[in-house]
Amino acid sequence: MVRRVSTPSSRLDSVFHALSDSTRRSILRDVSGREKTVSEIAVPYQMSLAAVSKHLKVLERAGLILREKRGAFQFVQVNAKPMQEAKQWLAFYEQFWDERLELLQQQLSKMSKK
């Protein structure tokens, strides 16, 4: 078995993967603003606590949540820092938005026309 260390690429993998599930994105919204316990988080979802626990593990591996055990409870809060990297990755493609692309092409054609 290959030891998987956290290259920038694999970190992006895990962040984007964590965000590719609407339940997990919803959980992130739930815990943004106010930290919540695992059971509290589970309430709105019609799935077992264990399933929610798994989703939390995926989010944790991606670094998107922080957990703090206080007594019997486990408080979960959002950690948006890894999203920054994802957002920066996306930002590279701003120049390829439809409108901008059109603009660029117009400018290029003007330039090539002399």
Binding site for a copy of itself (CB under 8 A): 9-10, 12-14, 16-17, 19-22, 25, 28, 32, 78-81, 83-84, 86-87, 89-98
How many CB atoms sit inside 10 A of residue 42's CB? 21
Of 48, 84, 95, 105, the one binding DNA by CB under 7 A: 48
Question: If you write DSSP's letter for every residue of 25-79 in order, what string do you get?
Answer: HHHHHHHSSS-EEHHHHHTTSSS-HHHHHHHHHHHHHTT-EEEEEETTEEEEEE-
In this complex, which beta carbon is closest to DNA, that of residue 50 or of residue 111?
A: 50
Q: Is 35 one of the binding residues for DNA (CB under 7 A)?
A: no
39 binds, among a copy of itself, DNA, none (CB under 5 to 8 A by kind): DNA
